C-alpha cells in the first residue's frame, strides 16, 4: 500500500512551562497541510522475509529515522504481533523545516500497521486497533497505549497518528484536542522553506537561555484559524521565532522579504501563509532561493 505523509504548520506556538526533567510545555494549534508537498510511504507485507526492511532517502542513518524507531517501538509492545514488513520512504518534506516531516512519517506508519494487523493484537494493545477500526467522534482521545507509544518516538507523533486535520496540542506534544470544524476555517496554505535547516534542540536551548515560559500566554483555543493569524505577526504568535533568528541570522532577512502575511512554523525554518489564490507570479518566492515552496 502507498500512503501520503503530509506536513503540519503551527498557527501559534507558545511555551508555557517546563516539566521536572526540563522538557518544554507548549500550547499550539497544529494544522495538517494536505497539498502538493508530502512524503510517499510504501508498506509491503513480506511474510516470508526473515526480518523487517526499512529503506528511504532519510537525512540520517536508517536506524535513527522516525520510521525505523516507530516500527521497533510498536513491536516491543506486549500483545503486538505481525509478520515482517518492507517500508520504503521517498522524502520530499525538507528536514529542519518546522513541518514535522519525520513525525508525520512515524504517525502514518503506526496508523497503517495498527489498522492492518491490529485485529490480531492482544490485551491492551487491542485498544490501539479499536481507535482506527471504528468511526471516531472528533473528540475521541488517543488510547493510553497509543499515546505513550507516540510520545516515546517524538513530540509531534501523537498529532499525526491521531489522523485529525486540526487540533490544539499541549504538554510536550502528546495531548491532542481536535478542533471543531467551525474553527478549522482555513485549511490551504502556501509553504516556503529557505535553504536553512534549523536544529530544534539548539533553538529550544537558545529560548531557555534568553526567555522565560509564560503560563499566562494568550488563549487562542476558542479562535478560528483565520482569527489566530489575524491577531499577530510571526514574532508574537511563535515563541521560537526570535530564538531561531538569533541562531540563523538569514531567517530575519527572509521574514522581511516575505512580508507580514507570512508566519513561522515550529522551530523553523519554514514560513507559511494563507493560500488565497492559485497564481502568485509576483510573490517573494520568485526572488529567493527555494528549497520547498507550494
- Just list the catalytic residues: 8, 156
Task: Please report the beta strands in 141-268, taking only residues with DSSP state E, as ranges in sequence order.
Answer: 166-171, 175-178, 189-193, 263-264
Alpha carbon distance 94, 92 (integer Å)? 6
* DSSP state letter for 23: P
Residues 238/12, Cβ–Cβ less than 8 Å: yes
Nearest to residue 223, comparing CAs of 172, 255, 188, 183?
A: 183
For residues 15, 65, 153, 30, the Cα torsion angle rounded to the nearest 10 degrees is: 40
Say which residue the cell 491490529 belongs to. 118
Cell (9 digits) for 2: 502507498
* DSSP state letter for 54: E
DSSP letter for each residue of 93-112: SPSSSSS-HHHHHHHHHHHH
Alpha carbon distance 75, 7 (integer Å)? 25
Terminal-to-terminal C-alpha distance of the chain: 26
Amino acid at each position: 500500500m502507498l500512503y501520503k505523509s503530509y506536513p503540519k504548520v503551527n498557527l501559534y506556538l507558545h511555551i508555557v512551562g517546563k516539566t521536572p526533567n526540563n522538557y518544554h510545555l507548549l500550547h499550539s494549534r497544529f494544522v495538517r497541510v494536505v497539498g502538493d508537498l508530502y512524503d510517499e510511504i510504501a508498506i509491503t507485507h513480506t511474510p516470508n522475509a526473515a526480518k523487517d526492511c526499512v529503506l528511504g532517502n532519510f537525512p540520517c542513518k536508517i536506524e535513527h529515522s522516525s520510521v525505523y524507531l516507530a516500527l521497533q517501538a510498536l513491536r516491543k509492545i506486549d500483545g503486538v504481533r505481525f509478520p515482517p514488513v518492507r517500508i520504503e520512504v521517498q522524502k520530499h518534506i525538507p528536514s529542519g523545516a518546522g513541518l514535522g516531516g519525520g513525525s508525520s512519517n512515524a504517525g502514518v506508519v503506526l496508523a497503517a500497521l495498527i489498522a492492518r494487523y491490529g485485529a490480531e493484537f492482544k490485551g491492551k494493545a487491542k485498544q490501539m486497533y479499536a481507535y482506527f477500526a471504528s468511526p471516531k467522534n472528533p473528540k475521541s482521545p488517543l488510547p493510553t497505549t497509543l499515546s505513550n507509544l507516540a510520545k516515546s518516538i517524538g513530540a509531534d507523533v501523537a498529532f499525526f497518528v491521531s489522523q485529525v486535520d486540526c487540533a490544539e496540542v499541549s504538554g510536550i506534544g502528546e495531548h491532542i484536542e481536535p478542533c471543531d470544524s467551525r474553527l478549522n476555517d482555513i485549511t490551504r496554505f502556501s509553504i516556503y522553506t529557505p535553504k536553512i535547516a534549523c536544529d530544534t534542540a539548539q533553538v529550544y536551548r537558545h529560548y531557555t537561555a534568553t526567555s522565560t515560559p509564560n503560563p499566562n500566554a494568550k488563549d487562542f483555543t476558542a479562535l478560528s484559524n483565520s482569527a489566530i493569524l489575524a491577531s499577530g505577526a510571526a514574532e508574537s504568535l511563535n515563541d521560537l521565532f526570535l530564538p531561531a533568528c538569533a541562531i540563523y541570522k538569514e531567517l530575519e532577512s527572509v521574514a522581511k522579504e516575505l512580508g507580514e502575511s507570512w508566519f513561522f512554523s515550529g522551530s523553523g525554518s519554514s514560513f507559511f501563509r494563507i493560500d488565497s489564490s492559485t497564481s502568485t507570479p509576483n510573490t517573494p518566492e520568485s526572488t529567493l532561493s527555494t528549497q520547498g515552496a507550494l
